[in-house]
Amino acid sequence: MISRQILGVAMVLAVLNSCSNDSSDEVDPIMAIDNPETYNFQRNGESSVYFGGQTTRILMAEEIIAKLKDETATGDILKSMYAHQEGGTDFTNADLNASNKNLKGKTAASFDFYSNNATDQALIRADFENWIQVQVDEVYPNWNTAASAGVAGQIADGSSTRYVTGKGLEMNQVFNKSLIGALMVDQILNNYISNRYLDAGNQKSDNDEGILVEGRNYTTMEHYWDEAYGYAFGASQDVADPRPTVGSDDEFLNEYIGVVDQDIDFQGIADDIFQAYKLGRAAIVAKDYTVRDEQSEILRGLISKVIAIRAVHYLQQGKNILEQPDPNIGGVFHDLSEAYGFIYSLQFTRMPNSDEPYFTKSEVDAFLADLLDDGADGLWDVTPETLDAISISIAERFEFTLEQAAD
């Protein structure tokens, strides 16, 4: 907590400086914000933080990813999990079955990008249902068949077995990594931390006046910011301070914030993300919307960068294996399937201080087409030159190097 003592010291220093230098330095407004050490915000002695819906969706996503690797599953089962209806017996977790939440309804559903873009929203949601159907129609029937160019089946990757389409794609990986962008990143960057969304209706005046959501201990604006936090850290062992276990708490955005943070070239990014979330929430409590919006822009840049780093990382890892004298093709396909999903996720990123993603849907679609069109059999025919070309195009827009991301 930033105490009045600290603020007082800053003000005294400002006065002394004014007397000695005849200047009029102002106190940094952030100094006046009560910014706690952890994401722990209370009102009347009770927590004012709640993001249960986000935790629920992360858990639903975990179950559907696991189910995609069950060759006995049907398209109806998997699509029902994706578009869950309250009371449906889609999950092993009874609480998830009782929930009125689902994944489909929040896929490509942000206020800023999709409230007036029903066409792209429908296309994106159809992609996820199509990937399910490809897994069911093409991969499951060939579960025990050796994969070959143009033929779906299984392929060794060291001690692991990968299950791929005739073009070499692991559909469970494509679905998983694409969902990071279409659900988590889109909801965070283009919905819950959007000033348009946070300030809609009476939400700013309600926050100014401390008007709480009926039956709850938070304002609407506080809650929306918490929901953005939940998509990154909602499954953490300690949600107030997720940093000690970041990367190991789920298979989605949290995992890759942690993985990128472990790279010496990007060390500290997890803490930077956490600090921006925390200060933004503290600014909402302090009714300082300038500081809140500054943290939104920081989060847009950092979270977008995580997606781009992993897209380039997997492209480069796949290329490095492909260039070996006797390449492990299963490893190549695994890495490039993950790359496919992270590239797909780039359309949901957001350039700071902008209304635009780092890459448009058409640019992303072109990258994905390039990845598969070096020959008739998709990844079986992909060349190192193609992988480098896509990698360079992504890295240049984010100003990191291929070598940094490839580690």
**pLDDT tens readout for residues 382-406:** 999 999 999 999 999 998 999 999 9
What pLDDT score does 2 carry? Answer: 37
Spatial contact of 308 and 358, defined as CB atoms under 8 Å apart: yes
Q: What angle do CA 118, 187, 401 make, to 5 degrees?
A: 105
- pLDDT greater at residue 64 or residue 14: 64
In 3D space, the residue among 320, 364, 360, 369 whose CA is nearest the CA of residue 343 turns out to be 364
With cut-offs at 50, 70 and 90, classify the pLDDT of residue 17: very low
The pLDDT of 5-25, averaged and rounded, is 40
* CA Rg value for the chain: 23
What pLDDT score does 303 carry? Answer: 98
In 3D space, the residue among 103, 265, 264, 238 whose CA is nearest the CA of residue 254 turns out to be 238
What pLDDT score does 399 carry? Answer: 87
The CA distance from 135 to 127, in Å, is 12
What pLDDT score does 318 carry? Answer: 98
What pLDDT score does 32 carry? Answer: 85
Q: Where is average pLDDT lowest: 24-33, 199-208, 330-339?
A: 24-33
In 3D space, the residue among 17, 27, 60, 16 whose CA is nearest the CA of residue 231 turns out to be 60
What pLDDT score does 20 carry? Answer: 40
The overall average pLDDT reported for the chain is 94
What pLDDT score does 24 carry? Answer: 46
Q: Encode pLDDT of 337-366 as tens digits.
A: 999 999 999 999 999 999 999 999 999 999
The CA distance from 281 to 222, in Å, is 7
Which phi and psi angles does 157 have, rounded to 5°? -140, 85
Determine what percent of the chain is predicted with pLDDT higher than 90. 92
SS3 148: strand
Q: What's at 362, amino acid-wise?
A: S
Q: Which two tokens stand for residue 220?
A: 């609407």
Spatial contact of 238 and 231, defined as CB atoms under 8 Å apart: no
With cut-offs at 50, 70 and 90, classify the pLDDT of residue 18: very low
H or E element that contains 164:
strand 160-164
Over 50: is that where the pLDDT of 43 sits?
A: yes
The CA distance from 213 to 227, in Å, is 14
Q: What angle do CA 297, 225, 199 make, to 5 degrees?
A: 80
With cut-offs at 50, 70 and 90, classify the pLDDT of residue 407: confident
The CA distance from 108 to 43, in Å, is 33
Over 50: is that where the pLDDT of 10 sits?
A: no
Q: Encode pLDDT of 326-336 as tens digits.
A: 999 999 999 99
What pLDDT score does 19 carry? Answer: 41
